[in-house]
């Protein structure tokens, strides 16, 4: 159900699929006490994409930028979580459409600066919580283990 | 279809009593955790509490609720007109944490997040933990289960829960109920906050 990839084909994502991906990002949890604390900017024009990927090792035909309201400190942490949850929605939905996704939650500073610049979003009001690179994939798989303690 | 369960996922506060998710469901959910963790390795541990362990958690969470309620009301995080409704829902929920058969607690290292300048590694751990939480919630929905986060924890209660779990070095990132929902929450109105450039 989740298809992560770091390499994408140079093939555009169809507008119909893009709309579904966009809609999927609207349904992430967010703090009870605030309105949806985010703004999603979808970079799809080839020139804009080229400008952005100059600052990142991942190259994809579409890039989702998940900006979240800085708000007050405690809400801010929760907003960051909302932005990452949106990115997971994107990854799950992309996989269902035979696309793949790479989520970067800690992109390079130059990339972040460029993202704010082309999105025309204020750094004083928003944080860039996550970035979703989307496209048709070249896939790789890995096995992982983590600790689970089950009681009861 | 995937979009349907993404849209239908809501925070559930009331669960069908005695209906326990099958073992395969938990395996499916753990597979979601593995997929995220594979991409973003962080210090992370997942507790799956059911039966007696879960029952022992309830009184600790009740204390948390009363502190949370006081802070939320004093801080005006809950509007005046919504307070009696919130109070009623939460009192009911706190009797047995909604009656869910399973509670999942995700732990990571967050020390420093309460400081003025939160370190980048702690923010990363927090973000990955919530990606894991969201993956759990979506995978659960996909296989017909419901979830609900009740994570807002005060420092004092967090310490008690960590002591109960026997954990010293990690912090609580999220707490989620898992089970079969017994309520129909009002559909969420969402604003289309997406811009294409």
Asked whether residue A113 is domain-assigned, the answer is yes
The CATH number covering residue A33 comes to: 3.40.109.10
Domain span at residue A45 reads: 7-138
Q: What pLDDT is recorded for position B72?
A: 61
- Least Cα distance to A116 among B155, B35, B166, B197 occurs for B197
Number of domains in chain A: 1
pLDDT tens per residue across span B50-96: 999 999 888 887 776 666 666 666 666 666 777 777 777 777 888 88
Contact A112/B at CB under 8 A: no
Predicted confidence band of residue B97 (pLDDT cuts 50, 70, 90):
confident
Query: Residues 72-101, chain A: which have Cβ within 8 Å of B?
Result: 77, 80-85, 87-89, 92-93, 96
Higher pLDDT, B115 or B13: B13
What is the C-alpha to C-alpha distance for residues A53 and A59, in angstroms, rounded to an integer? 6
CA angle A86, A76, B91 (to 5 degrees): 85
What is the C-alpha to C-alpha distance for residues A33 and B91, in angstroms, rounded to an integer? 18
Q: Which residues of B touch A85 (CB under 8 A)?
A: 130-131, 133-134
pLDDT tens per residue across span B157-168: 788 889 899 998
pLDDT tens per residue across span B168-184: 889 989 999 999 999 88
Domains of chain B by start residue, with CATH: 2-179 (3.40.109.10)
What is the C-alpha to C-alpha distance for residues B107 and B42, in angstroms, rounded to an integer? 10
Q: Which residues in chain A land under pLDDT 70?
A: 31-34, 71-77, 139-145
Asked whether residue A145 is domain-assigned, the answer is no
Higher pLDDT, B1 or B186: B1
Does B3 have pLDDT greater than 60?
yes
Asked whether residue A128 is domain-assigned, the answer is yes
| Concatenated DSSP letters of A35-66 | S--EEEEEE-SHHHHHHHHTT-S---SEEEEE
What ipTM was predicted for this assembly?
0.86
Asked whether residue A109 is domain-assigned, the answer is yes
Other CB atoms within a 10 A radius of the CB of residue A152 amount to 15
Q: In what order do the strands lie in the sheet with A126-135?
A: A100-104, A126-135, A62-69, A38-43, B194-196
Contact A130/B at CB under 8 A: yes
Does B190 have pLDDT greater than 90?
no
């Amino acid at each position: 159900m989740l298809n992560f990839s770091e390499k994408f084909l140079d093939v555009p994502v169809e507008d119909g699929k893009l709309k579904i991906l966009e809609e999927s990002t609207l349904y992430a949890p967010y703090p009870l006490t605030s309105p949806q604390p985010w703004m999603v900017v979808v970079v799809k024009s080839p020139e804009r994409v080229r400008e952005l990927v100059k600052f990142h090792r991942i190259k994809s035909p579409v890039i989702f930028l998940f900006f979240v309201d800085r708000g007050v400190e405690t809400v801010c942490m929760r907003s960051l979580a909302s932005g990452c949850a949106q990115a997971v929605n994107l990854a799950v939905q992309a996989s269902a459409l035979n696309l793949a996704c790479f989520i970067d939650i800690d992109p390079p500073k130059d990339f972040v600066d460029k993202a704010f610049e082309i999105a025309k979003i204020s750094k004083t009001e928003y944080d860039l919580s996550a970035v979703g690179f989307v496209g048709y994939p070249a896939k790789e798989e890995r096995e992982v283990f983590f600790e689970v303690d089950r009681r009861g | 279809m995937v979009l349907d369960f993404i849209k239908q996922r809501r925070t559930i506060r009331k669960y069908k009593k005695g209906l326990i998710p099958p073992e395969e469901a938990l395996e499916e959910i753990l597979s979601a955790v593995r997929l995220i963790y594979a991409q973003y390795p962080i210090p992370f541990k997942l507790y799956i509490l059911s039966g007696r362990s879960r029952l022992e958690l309830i009184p600790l969470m009740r204390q948390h609720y009363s502190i949370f309620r006081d802070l939320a009301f004093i801080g005006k995080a809950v509007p005046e007109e919504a307070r009696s409704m919130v109070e009623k829902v939460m009192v009911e929920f706190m009797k047995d944490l909604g009656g869910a058969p399973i509670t999942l607690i995700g732990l990571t290292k967050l020390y420093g997040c309460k400081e003025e300048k939160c370190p980048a590694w702690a923010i990363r751990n927090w973000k990955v933990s919530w990606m894991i939480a969201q993956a759990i919630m979506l995978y659960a929905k996909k296989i017909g289960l419901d979830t609900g986060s009740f994570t807002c924890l005060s420092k004092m209660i967090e310490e008690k829960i960590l002591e109960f779990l026997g954990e010293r070095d990690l912090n609580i990132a999220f707490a989620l109920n898992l089970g079969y929902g017994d309520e129909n929450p009002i559909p969420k109105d969402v604003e289309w906050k997406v811009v294409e450039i």
